[in-house]
Amino acid sequence: MQKRRVGILISGRGSNMQSLVAAMRRPGFPAEPVIVVSNRPEAAGLEWARGQGIAVHAIDHKQYANRMAFEARLHQALLDAQVDLICNAGFMRMLTGGFVDRWMDRQLNIHPSLLPAFPGLDTHQRVLDQGALITGATVHFIRTEMDAGPIVAQTAVPVMPNDSADTLAARVLEAEHRLYPHALELVATGQVSVRDERVVMAAPVGRVPTLMWPPLG
């Protein structure tokens, strides 16, 4: 199978970008990183990607009159790199319907909760404030609504009694680093497709243990 060409969008250090690149460098992985784009020229992740031999491109959204002009430049950069799939990895820009439609079902995002619960910002503090016992992370196809779209994969993370927003965020981020490459592999190999705004698996999924938290005695 020909490797799918992946463009990664970041706004900061790009820790999920690093986990994706590490996975794509493994023998047999069905995708390869071809460009990293940031809307912030000072993003630390750009230098890291450059050191990995990946093409990088900074497109400062502040230099464009409106979102459509910024997205037109972003779209062209991805086309020039012959990108097949986009992975948003800490990309802190809402995208208009025009851009989303051009990349429909070819653009992934990761969010640090079990969507549709707790979309948006300050996720971990809201999880704690609501007294949730289990949280996690979600990889989904992007739609125009924030943190919405068909869900590709999720992982569950228990909330510990002494958690702060920071400790919970760190533990969820570790889970994100495992989940995102898994989801990308599912998409790149065609094991998932979208039908009626839901992800459909090409093959049946076997039974897995149920997570119960607190665990049964």
Query: Which residues participate in catalysis according to the annotation?
Result: 111
Determine how many CB atoms are found less than 10 A away from the CB of residue 204. Answer: 5
For 19-45, the DSSP string reads: HHHHHHTSTT-SEEEEEEEESSTT-HH
Phi and psi (nearest 5°) for 24? -70, -20
Phi (first) and psi of residue 106, to 5 degrees: -130, 10
Q: Does the CA dihedral 79-81-87-88 come out positive or negative?
A: negative
Residue 34 CB neighbour total at 10 angstroms: 19
DSSP E strand stretches across the chain:
4-10, 31-38, 55-58, 85-88, 107-111, 134-141, 151-158, 192-195, 198-201
User: Are 175 and 118 contacting, i.e. CB atoms less than 8 angstroms apart?
Assistant: no
Burial class (CB in 10 A: 0-12, 13-18, 19+), 67: middle
Calpha distance 169→176 (Å, rounded): 10
